[in-house]
Structure 1
């Protein structure tokens, strides 16, 4: 029968628990190697009106990815939407997820997919940079720096 002194057993348990805690608390993998963005802009409207986020997302990896949301410390709420024109009537619809195949790209642009950024945490000015984290189904995250722009510039 194997006997382990209590102090050695206690040390072993602490080590195993520490490793387990690290694995659980470790931040999700960053997607920087295979996901890139271009032209990240936030159309900033006056006052507390919602802003819109536009960018191009490119998947340079070998696996498909699914974008499931976004968040930003500058806004209380960030949602994915799509503008739709049916029979001459324009509307916005919430989007739960967007699939992006390996080697493909998708444009978030006016009259298409876009981020709706609501409930500003602080006043923002044209020309400021705002961080937005894109969230993916497999727990990947991509931090993107957006430039705030005037609605007239789009």
Structure 2
């Protein structure tokens, strides 16, 4: 009889997993570390060996400022932070060495603004692929984020 009870409990227990699985699915594309949250991480990729651009929202839910100092990914030889600007009708971009995010603030990495530049692809990537990226902070915090590879037309 004890075996029957265990089997009955096991058969019922997968239903207890459903809320946890749903929460896990809802968190896909979201990364958290020490009060930091990244959402909507996308890597816009053109065909060939042209650089890709990374966009996301970085929220500081902590109680102290944090300073983003860079990023890296095994899928690319180099990842740099840049800022796009338009001056006198001329579009350009410049490298950024660090960005500070105050408590409660969200920093948007978006087209025509801050973005990550992914340079020298180390292997083939296609639309729908996932790329592991690590954001680096001045206090040695490292935040792993999964970027979805998307077409530039989707932005």
Instruction: Please classify the TM superposition score into its range, dividing by the shorter chain length.
Output: 0.7 to 0.9
Deviation for aligned residue 1:33: 3.0
Whichever of the two has the greater Rg, that structure is 1
Shift of 1:118: 0.4
Equivalent position of 2:70 in the other structure: 69
The within-5 A match list for 1:1-150 is 32-150=33-151
Q: CA deviation at 1:34?
A: 0.6
**Take 1:99 and 1:88, find their aligned partners in 2: how far apart are those partners?**
28
Give distance in 1, aligned partners of 2:106 and 2:79: 21
Q: Once superposed, which parts of structure 1, at least 4 consecutive aligned residues long, lie more than 6 Å away?
A: none
CA offsets 1:72-92 (integer angstroms, 9 cap, x no match): 010000000000111111101
CA distance in 1, matches of 2:107, 2:140: 20
Q: Write out per-residue CA displacement over residues 102-150 of structure 1, whole angstroms, 9 at most, x where no aligned residue.
A: 1100100000000000011101010000010000000001000000001
For 1:99 and 1:59, how far apart are their aligned partners in 2? 10
**CA RMSD, 1 decimal:** 1.2
Runs of 5+ unmatched residues, structure 1: 1-30
Shift of 1:46: 0.4
5+ long unaligned stretches in structure 2: 1-31
TM-score, normalization by structure 2: 0.79
SS at match of 2:57: strand
Q: Deviations over 1:18-56 (max 9, x none)?
A: xxxxxxxxxxxxx61310111000001101110000000
In 2, Cα distance between equivalents of 1:101 and 1:120: 33
TM-score normalised by L of structure 1: 0.79
How many angstroms apart in 2 are the aligned matches of 1:89 and 1:51?
A: 21
How many aligned residue pairs are there? 125
